[in-house]
Homo-oligomer: A and B are copies of this chain.
Amino acid sequence: MNPQRTRRRGPALENAILDAAWDVLVEHGYHGLTYEAVAARAHTSRPVLYRRWPTRDDLLLATITRYRAAQPVEIPDTGDLRADAIGFLRNADAGLTGMITLISVQLMDYFRDTGTNFTTLRDALGSPTPTPCEIIVARAVARGDLPDVPRSRRLLNLPFDLFRHDVLMTLRPLPAHSLTEIVDEIWLPLLRR
């Protein structure tokens, strides 16, 4: 280990380890989340980890929990439906891709074992109602930019579903043109129909 580095203690050390664990998790997945790899990444040693998190699941849970306090996705309010929609997808693309990837990689085994699924988890975590897409449409209706007619949940949440689908398929952030394509070629024509 680098002799220059000061010896860390308490919360400073703990946070550094969990940050390292998050990096390893995003980079190599659950299978790569070994005590060895995390200790190396955090520039510490395995016994330090074992003293705090006796099992790998403890370490995983602590890592995810620490990042649960992460940034919420902002819903822009520009006064323009298209700008709101694309802006929201852009924010989600920047902030949510890692989390979606993580969940898809990490929790599938849990889903398999418990017989639950994404939807179950989202409901258990307290589903945000209304969803961001529904908020954006409601604002457009209030401005008179869209007719005030009933719309199905599928139509309302279509852009985010397509966004999530593409992220799950590629496990990467989406290029900007995919976001505008979803809004311009799919969602807006259906909303304005």
* A interface list, Cβ under 8 A from B: 28-32, 104-106, 108-109, 111-113, 117-119, 152, 154-155, 158, 161-162, 164-165, 168-172, 181-182, 185-186, 189-190, 193
Contacts and interface: CB of A to CB of B under 8 A. Distances in A.
**Number of identical monomers bound together in the oligomeric complex:** 2
Contact of A170 (B104, B106, B119): B119
A170 B113 CA distance: 14
A113 B168 contact: no
A117 B171 contact: yes
Given A29-B109, A106-B108, A186-B190, 15 more contacts: A29-B108, A29-B112, A32-B112, A32-B113, A104-B108, A105-B111, A108-B108, A117-B170, A118-B170, A119-B170, A152-B185, A155-B186, A161-B162, A162-B162, A189-B189
B190 A112 contact: no
A113 to B, nearest CB: 7
A176 to B, nearest CB: 14
A108 B25 CA distance: 13
Nearest to A112: B29
A154 B182 contact: yes
A28 B119 contact: no
A171 B111 contact: yes
